[in-house]
Amino acid sequence: MKRRQFIQSSLALGATATLGTIASCGGRGSEPQAPLPFTPGQPLPWTNWAGNQACVPQWRYAPANEDELISALKAAQGVIRPVGAGHSFSAVTTTDDSMISTDLLAGLVSHDPVELQATLRAGTRLNALGPLLAPINQALPNMPDMDYPSLGGALANAVHGTGVGFQSMSAYVTGLKLATVGGDLVTCSAEKNPDIFQAALTHVGALGVVSEYTLQNQAPFELTEVNGIAKVEDVFDNMEQLCRENRHFECYLVPYSTLCSTVTTNIRQPGDAAVGEDDPDGANTLRSVFEATTWIPGIGSDLYDFVLSQAFSDTTDLVRTGPSHVVFAHPRLMRFREMEYTVPAELGVTCAREILATIQSKGLGLSFPIEFRYVKADDIWLSMFEGRDGCTISIHQYGDLDYKAPFAEIEKIFWKYGGRPHWGKIHTMTAAALAQAYPRHWQDFHEVRRALDPTGKLMNAHLRSIFEA
């Protein structure tokens, strides 16, 4: 787990791990835990950050400007896939043919000090945006709490932060440039090539490669984040008020426990000061307590909840304060796999309750906290928040454990509540079901996609499964 003191006090309980080992965490995962073997003289393997997606591209390109990008698209053979930081858990990037990296397409291009807009190259990492924007007196209005992805990869998948008043990052794009497989560089906005613009705001890399984006920003600001512990049912009962009274509110639900971690983030006030230290390795500590207690027949899960309740009965809130881009972001020190669905906002609490009950009743091997947050609706064709306010629920599993069986059980619950999967995270929905999930603009998107890529050069096996019925 990240950025919270939630597990720190349980470090003292580490000695209880000698009680035994647990089977209920699930079996070991089958995906590679390290890059695939490399044979000298053969193409270099590619593996994503999570270690669950891998391929061996025969041709790699790393264009440093738009001319080189167009040349790479023209020269590329077979299936072409763009790649940013490799932080997607789904197979959106994999190809054994041609891979185009955006790493060298990075940095600030220009800015408008009156409109508070900035144009940035698509390969720019999210963690570089704050330092790039601060000197020009701009800041992102919101951002996700994981800032390793590239800007292009984040926007292609409708990456988001949290807050009922904030939309996904894609909604703050006012213009972009799209390089197509046909060798064109198309400038797009709401006024210029509006259909391509709408499709490209969340395009999953199916239209081409975006070279740069123009973002609507705001003046720099500072935030204070308070992390605490609460009873999950108390939080659920007061969810509307918590979301309304805070600029950002989210919580982390703990399977097999009556507790959750709460995170409120607001504009920094005079006198706000940091309290305590973040514990980015906390989820591993939680896992050790889980494994040390839940193996005991008949009482394991009750003992686990009791231990956590005792450990956190007098826990002091963790407070972080500073520039927005510093407070929003948190480190990831452990590898995990993630499935995230967005359900209609009004069904979020009901859906989460059923997920927690199912984990408990079926003894699913999940102890990693479940992220729960809200995002404002937008009108982007393939955004998970298109046409409705959304509640996003993120299920995690440790990188060395099997995620497929427990994810399959929970995914059925998401479908029951009309969930839409995060494009960059693990899911098994295919084109026919996704078309039903996006009834207003599914065909609009694919008309643009087929016009820009009529022969399907960008369509790897994963994209064919989610886009072609």
Q: What does the domain layout of the chain look like in residue ranges? A: 5-25+221-421, 46-101, 108-219+439-467
User: In this structure, which CATH number among 3.10.20.30, 3.20.20.70, 1.10.490.10, 3.30.465.10 belongs to the domain 108-219+439-467?
Assistant: 3.30.465.10
In angstroms, the CA 311 to CA 134 distance is 40
Q: Which two tokens stand for residue 179?
A: 């390089």
Per the rule left: phi > 0, alpha: psi between -120 and 50, beta: everything else, 13 is alpha
In angstroms, the CA 133 to CA 120 distance is 10
pLDDT by residue, tens only, the chain of 469 residues: 333 344 443 333 333 333 333 334 556 666 655 567 888 888 999 999 999 999 999 999 999 999 999 999 999 999 999 999 999 999 999 999 999 999 999 999 999 999 999 999 999 999 999 999 999 999 999 999 999 999 999 999 999 999 999 999 999 999 999 999 999 999 999 999 999 999 999 999 999 999 999 999 999 999 999 999 999 999 999 999 999 999 999 999 999 999 999 999 999 999 999 998 877 777 887 888 888 887 777 777 788 888 888 777 666 789 999 999 999 998 888 899 999 999 999 999 999 999 999 999 999 999 999 999 999 999 999 999 999 999 999 999 999 999 999 999 999 999 999 999 999 999 999 999 999 999 999 999 999 999 999 999 999 999 999 999 5
Per the rule left: phi > 0, alpha: psi between -120 and 50, beta: everything else, 73 is alpha
pLDDT value at residue 19: 35
pLDDT value at residue 310: 78
In angstroms, the CA 390 to CA 375 distance is 5
pLDDT value at residue 250: 98
Give the residue among 321, 108, 154, 124 at the shortest CA–CA distance from 221: 321
Bridge pairing between strands 185-189 and 173-179? antiparallel
pLDDT value at residue 16: 38
Cβ neighbourhood burial of 318 (10 Å; 0-12, 13-18, 19+): buried
In angstroms, the CA 267 to CA 247 distance is 8
- Dihedrals phi, psi of 241, to nearest 5 degrees: -65, -45
CATH topology of 5-25+221-421 equal to that of 46-101?
no
In angstroms, the CA 72 to CA 319 distance is 47
* 213 beta partners: 120, 176
Give the residue among 332, 317, 309 at the shortest CA–CA distance from 262: 317
* 267 beta partners: 223
The residue type found at 390 is G
Contacts of 319 (CB under 8 A, 6+ apart): 224, 225, 226, 227, 272, 273, 274, 275, 276
CA 412 to chain centre: 20
Question: Around Cβ 310, how many Cβ atoms within 10 Å?
Answer: 12
What's domain 46-101's architecture? 2-Layer Sandwich (3.30)
pLDDT value at residue 10: 38
Give the residue among 373, 374, 467, 365 at the shortest CA–CA distance from 410: 365
Grouping H, G, I as helix, E, B as strand and the rest as coil, residue 168 is coil
Give the residue among 93, 51, 46, 26 at the shortest CA–CA distance from 332: 51
In this structure, are residues 385 and 378 in contact, taking their beta carbons and an 8 Å threshold?
Answer: yes
Radius of gyration from C-alpha coordinates of the chain: 22
Place of tokens 């800032």: 147
Bridge pairing between strands 98-101 and 59-61? parallel
Q: What is the pTM of this model?
A: 0.92
Strand order from edge to edge, sheet including 259-267: 318-323, 222-231, 259-267, 248-253, 370-375, 390-398, 336-344, 420-421
Place of tokens 């999210």: 126
pLDDT value at residue 8: 41
Contacts of 198 (CB under 8 A, 6+ apart): 380, 381, 441, 444, 448
Contacts of 66 (CB under 8 A, 6+ apart): 177, 179, 185, 211
pLDDT value at residue 314: 66
In this structure, are residues 335 and 284 in contact, taking their beta carbons and an 8 Å threshold?
Answer: no
- Counting Cα atoms < 13 Å in the Cβ hemisphere of 296 gives 14
Q: Which two tokens stand for residue 361?
A: 């009743």
Place of tokens 């091997």: 365
In angstroms, the CA 130 to CA 269 distance is 21
Give the residue among 429, 389, 388, 437 at the shortest CA–CA distance from 407: 429
5-25+221-421 CATH: 3.40.462.10
Q: Which long-range CB contacts under 8 A does 28-37 form with residues at least 24 apart? A: 28/400, 28/401, 28/402, 29/337, 29/397, 29/399, 29/400, 29/401, 29/402, 29/403, 30/402, 31/337, 33/335, 33/399, 33/400
DSSP 295: T
Give me the numbers of helices (H) and strands (E) for the chain, helices first please.
14, 18
In angstroms, the CA 265 to CA 425 distance is 25
Orientation angle between helical segments 348-362 and 404-416, nearest 10 degrees: 140
